[in-house]
Structure 1
């Protein structure tokens, strides 16, 4: 399997950019919790303030749990992960955001950590490609052996993410930053898992696939 020439970040740069990404994802709900507390201090509606705090705390918790599995160590080096954990994290993430329906098909299995992390990051790519919401169908085939993952995203607005397409194709020259680290990490995980990713736009959907690469 040929190496992707775009995957050149050092370990320290990769870690720093991923940390920036996680902080970006949780700062909004944490800020909303603070707003709810300020509303209480100012004598506002207790019900409204508590509802804002409760909702924002749940959102922050869901995002952190997702990030721990998608970006974190999730066990020791070389560990395996239950795909059921990924399914729950993805369903909880989508439910908290309240704009995208998830359908999950395929057997539950305990498989290589990077394969699960790649699946979760590919979900984030697909999720971002339907910004107004819609649906994402996730299908797992032979996850323990000759794995193939297919994600079909549908929505009122659909667009294949240009940065993901560039990084995955190996033809991008711009430096990776905190805004593009997530698609970069997705491609890196796919390479480490020995998988190839493809993305195409049909008349009514965006179709993302990841499957085991042929051994050269």
Structure 2
């Protein structure tokens, strides 16, 4: 079976996340065993434990955002679990409003949109993910919104001339994912809020 070269980055993302999740889980299990033994405790153990928990949450989130997507369903409980874990260690609070599950490709686009919004909220805030009648809206709100207009233009105009850094890869991937799904992205910026629709 031939591999579509456009899918290679997503397959690589899936592979990296898949291979990293097991050793991080093992480290977490080891920390729990050390904690139960009572021999090791204190702020050092808390710092290591928090770091492992945050790394595990980010990898789970990145596996959806950057990994291979498809039409298979993700249940609401699975999505909320990923977001609940990532909420524990970040400056943003992610909220998932849809009551039903969604296809992995739709969740992937929502997570990529959330990453775009994260880059525009340097002081934190909330990112709410909504869906009504098949139309998705991802809203980022915070006390300060910092938008790089050239970068954000890339979401709605794939010919926009902007250099994408590794930290901004979501701005290249979201339009590609939307195009594959037959969707059009619109962005609605305001003073303390940005909405992405697709």
Q: Is the 2:152–2:171 contact (alpha carbons within 8 Å) kept by the matching residues of 1?
A: yes
Matched, 1:54 2:49: yes
2:179 maps to 191
* 1:141 match: 132
Q: Within 5 Å, which residues of 2 pair with 1:168-207?
A: 168-174=156-162, 176-207=164-195
Matched, 1:124 2:124: no
Match among 72, 95, 104 for residue 96 of structure 2: 104
Residue segments in structure 1 that go unaligned for 5+ positions in a row? 1-8, 34-44, 211-216
Quote the residue 2:79 is aligned against: 86
- Give the TM-score normalised by structure 2: 0.72
Moved over 3 A (4+): 9-16, 173-177
Distance in 1 between residues matched to 2:64 and 2:157, nearest whole Å: 26
Structure 2: how far apart are the matches of 1:177 and 1:13? 15
The answer to whether the 8 A contact 2:73-2:104 is kept is yes
Local SS of the residue matching 2:49: helix
Structure 2 spans left out of the alignment, 5+ residues: 28-39
**Counterpart position of 2:33:** none
Distance 1:10 1:176, change over 3 A: farther
1:38 maps to none
- How many correspondences in the alignment? 174
Taking structure 1 as the reference length, the TM-score comes to 0.66
1:204 and 1:48 map into 2 onto residues whose CA distance is 36
User: Root-mean-square deviation (CA), in Å?
Assistant: 3.1
Q: Return the offset for 1:57.
A: 0.7
Contact 2:158/2:175, CA 8 A, preserved across alignment:
no
* CA shift for structure 1 position 59: 0.6
CA-to-partner distance for each residue in 1:114-148, whole Å, 9 max, x for gaps? 11111111111112211110122222213xxxx11
Tell me how far apart the structure 1 counterparts of residues 155 and 190 of structure 2 sit (CA, whole Å). 21
Q: Give SS of 1:127's match.
A: helix
172-181 vs 147-156, which moves further: 172-181
